[in-house]
Amino acid sequence: MTKLFLILKAFKAKELTLLGQYLENPVINQRDDVIKLLSFWQKKGCSITKEVGFATIYPNQNFDLKKWHLLTSRLFKLVEQFLIARELKNDVATQKALLVKAYRNRSIILHFESTIEQAKKILHKTDIQNADWLHQKFKLEYEYYDYIASHNRKEQTNLQNVNNLLDEYYISTKLRNACLDLTRKMVNDDHYTIYFIESILSKVEQVPTLLEVPAISIYYYCYRALTEEENVDWFQLFRKSIAENSKRFEPAEKRDISIMAINYCIRKLNTGDKFFVRETFELYKLSLKEGYLIEDRKMPESLFYNIVSAAVKNKEYVWANEFIEEHRQYLPKKFKEPIYYFCHGLLFYEQRQYKESMQSLILVDTKISFLLLATKTLQIKIYYELNEIDALSNLLESLRVYIQRRKDLGYRKEHFENLVNFVNRLISIPYKNDIEKIKLKEEVVNAAIFSEKEWMLRQLDG
């Protein structure tokens, strides 16, 4: 499928109608064959072929591949112009910024000055104050500086404002990228180079008024929290900044910020920190309420699982069941069944309904690592609690082999290695050997990465 038809396939019926009206404007398009091609697509859709399309649009001509490519290329360019126009329609600030540049280039000074003031007022009133907003403010200030400097070299300029805004834009963007880098490292073990981050952190410490800028504050505290996990004060400042400034960001960026906070909590949970059991759940509930976690009616499968897991850890069983049933529709097609059955298995297990849990887990048919490992973990717990030692030993061995072969587990690999090791030792300890139990308990408590500490300690104490 060509680039043109891939775009048109993504259009909704209303958008195709608006595109048709756009193409009928003689200032924009004067070619009837372009309009006919769009009309033909609307009737045939994905079943369109170049030969049939050409014959329909040019009925008295032999098929000419070069001419067909030229036609589709013309429509493609017009479609891109339409998309740009649609994006600009509701972006008044960008419209004004472009108008400022146009008046400046044409030396229409009166219009330039009034329009730049209008643009500044629009930016001042807007709720969104992210890095893009800072960049827009910088560009307007620079246009005004260039205007002053080119007219009178002796007149005082706004160069200090220009530099301040450039610094704020640069610092906020670098901090955001650094936070995204850290998040990628945690989840996928990706590695990127972010230059000058130490200098930026030092500058924020030297000039604390920079923290009054929402796009700096939220990412500065996020970076500190992610790099100094042991100091929970940074996370509390990050949460405070989210509460105060989240309305300053677009939905997609709000989602990224929310996920960063949740990932921090999950990391703390993996160290066995009980405080973050409730904190993680509350963040998920807030993010769902604000609509951050569903994009284009889709929710990632890992996110769906994590939300259910957080709910059951807080014994919110009714809430978890309602979430599973209501949000199943947003899962990717290939995950609708395995995630659904796994989450029900988890829900049954936490309520000690072992038979129902195993029946659900048997239906989890997947090769996806995170879901496969979560399923095996749950089965390990059930086998142990039912004293099915032979089945448990076989499962532990298969899990050991699996994690040894996988190279993409990141920090989770250490967790599962600990799980296999600790459970194997647990089942090998004689019933009344308290010395071995105490020794194992100490290792569990001191394990840096092991999210099943609470379960293991319950078994050792029991």
- Span 294-350, pLDDT tens digits: 888 888 888 898 899 899 989 999 999 999 999 999 998 888 899 999 999 999 999
On the CB side of 150, how many CA atoms lie within 13 Å of its CA? 10
1 pLDDT above the threshold of 60:
no
162 to 113, 339, 424: CA distances (angstroms):
17, 51, 64
- What does the mean pLDDT of the chain come to? 90
CA–CA distance, 207 with 282 (Å, rounded to integer) = 33
The structural domains of the chain, with segments of one domain joined by +, span: 3-89, 127-266, 367-462
Three-point CA angle 398, 430, 415, nearest 5°: 40
CA–CA distance, 77 with 64 (Å, rounded to integer) = 20
On the CB side of 176, how many CA atoms lie within 13 Å of its CA? 18
Give the pTM.
0.75
The candidate with the shortest Cα–Cα distance to 452, out of 427, 417, 403, 402, is: 417
Least confident of 121-125, 240-244, 273-277: 273-277
| Model confidence band, residue 248 (pLDDT cutoffs 50, 70, 90) | very high
pLDDT value of residue 451: 85
| Most confident listed range (179-183, 355-359, 409-413) | 355-359
The interaxial angle of helices 453-461 and 412-428, nearest 10 deg, is: 10
Residues 6+ positions from 249 with CB-CB distance below 8 Å: 128, 130, 214, 215, 218, 257
Q: Please, what's the b/e burial string for 147-164 (b: 16 or more CB within 10 A of its CB; e: otherwise)?
A: beeeeeeeeebbeebbeb
Percentage of the chain lying above the pLDDT 70 cut = 97
pLDDT value of residue 413: 87
214 pLDDT above the threshold of 60:
yes
252 pLDDT above the threshold of 70:
yes
CA–CA distance, 176 with 233 (Å, rounded to integer) = 20
The candidate with the shortest Cα–Cα distance to 306, out of 259, 358, 273, 238, is: 259
104-117: average pLDDT: 91
Residue 251 contacts residue 291 (beta carbons within 8 Å): yes
| Most confident listed range (160-169, 366-375, 401-410) | 160-169
Least confident of 113-122, 130-139, 146-155: 146-155
pLDDT tens track for 254-294:
989 998 999 899 888 877 777 888 999 999 998 898 888 88
Residue 374 contacts residue 342 (beta carbons within 8 Å): yes
CA–CA distance, 156 with 62 (Å, rounded to integer) = 69
pLDDT value of residue 187: 67
Work out the widest C-alpha separation in the chain, in whole angstroms.
95
